[in-house]
Amino acid sequence: HVAWWRTAIERYIQTCGNDEAAAVRAMTGDCIASIPKFVFEALPPRDKTLAVTLLLPLATDAETQVRAAACRAMGVLVLFPSLAEDPFFVSDMAASVLEQMQDPSIFIRTRASWALANLCDAIVTESEKDEFDFREYMSVNTWERILSAASAAGLDNDKLRSNAVRALGSLLHVSPEDNLLMPRHLRLIKQAMLALMKNIETGSLKTRWNACHAASSMLKNPSFPIGQAQFPWTAGLYAALIQSLLHCRNYKVRIHACMALATPTSLDKYGDQYPAVQKAIASAQQACSEEQEGEYQEYRYKEQLEAQASSVKKKRKGRRDKKRLISVSIFPF
């Protein structure tokens, strides 16, 4: 496989990238996106560099189909370990994708938002390494641009929104305290929270459970600004999660909302919303026991929600130290 792909990259894909026909240039991006992860990781450094060098210029091609193919390929490649840990590729990709987030074509913006979300997810994975330094991957300016672009996409066409909230959740999960607490950044965070709250409460089910999951991911960051008077999104965020937990008909959305409500590990992160959160989780558990059984798929999720709500209540009730709370484990599904 590796030998075949080396030949394809060096002999054929390289030629296609400069072809006069837009369809052929687009195929260059599609071919690069089709390289299996295990093959790419086994390629010599020269061929990896060649593939990336061929791909990046396609993101600024004059033809829509070529730019779309390039965005998709970048979104695939950034999840490969050797590129996810390469700050130079991450920086170049971020610049390319951010430019395409402004494209008038919804098709391009959708592809770009997916790639941006994958980039943020890749950084979350990298952050688990001991040697990780966020500043090596992203300048303050790039962080601002990504946060702003993802917030705008969260209020854009519904096709972009699930990707947008995924990007927001992952980016805010790994953002350092200096970025989050810089006074001029509070306006950007407020915009992000407005987009997140809107998608927690409304939109497609996929978008809503992604938004709830994003909130949970964000709240895992102990430096995330929430719970104090100067952070006005506190009440709105918890209210949106409570609304989804109690009133959404889809159990998967409700599970993610419950998970997010239980994520903060200290009382001060709830501000004055902790009693409302406690009451909502108790109501959700009670509602589960009273609701009639539906389809098997929903019944399976119903059991998970009931078990999760029960687990939250027991841990809260048994906790004697009121200064800290214990996060709830996520039930797989």
- Asked if residue 203 and residue 72 are part of one domain, the reply reads no
- Asked if residue 213 and residue 80 are part of one domain, the reply reads no
pLDDT bin (cut points 50, 70, 90) of residue 249 is confident
Which amino acid does the sequence have at 329? S
CA-nearest of 181, 126, 118 to 146 is 118
- Using the predicted structure, report yes or no on whether residue 297 has a pLDDT greater than 80: no
> What's the rounded Cα separation, in Å, for the pair 286 and 88?
52
Q: What domain range is 205 assigned to?
A: 147-274+321-326+329-333
CATH number, domain of 74, equals: 1.25.10.10
> What's the rounded Cα separation, in Å, for the pair 107 and 231?
35
CA 306, 309, 314, 317 torsion-angle sign: negative
Q: What is the mean pLDDT of residues 220-233?
A: 95
- Asked if residue 118 and residue 151 are part of one domain, the reply reads no
Determine which helix (DSSP H) or strand (DSSP E) holds 38, and give its type and residue range: helix 37-42
Q: What is the mean pLDDT of residues 83-89?
A: 96
- Asked if residue 151 and residue 120 are part of one domain, the reply reads no
Per-residue pLDDT tens over the stretch 24-75:
999 999 999 999 999 999 999 999 999 999 999 999 999 999 999 999 999 9
- For 92, the token pair is 């170049």
- Asked if residue 164 and residue 112 are part of one domain, the reply reads no
Q: What is the mean pLDDT of residues 266-293?
A: 83
> What's the rounded Cα separation, in Å, for the pair 11 and 6?
8
Residue 288 lies in a domain: no
- Asked if residue 212 and residue 333 are part of one domain, the reply reads yes
> What's the rounded Cα separation, in Å, for the pair 239 and 224?
18
Per-residue pLDDT tens over the stretch 109-140:
999 999 999 999 999 999 999 999 999 999 99
Burial label for 166, CB within 10 Å (0-12, 13-18, 19+), is buried
- Using the predicted structure, report yes or no on whether residue 203 has a pLDDT greater than 90: yes
> What's the rounded Cα separation, in Å, for the pair 53 and 166?
27
Question: How high is the pLDDT of residue 304?
Answer: 62
pLDDT bin (cut points 50, 70, 90) of residue 319 is very low
**Bridge partners of 324?**
266
CA torsion 192-195-200-202 (nearest 10°) is: 180
Last residue of a domain, one of 124, 156, 175: 124
Question: How high is the pLDDT of residue 332?
Answer: 31
| From 104-108, 117-121, 329-333, the region with the lowest mean pLDDT | 329-333
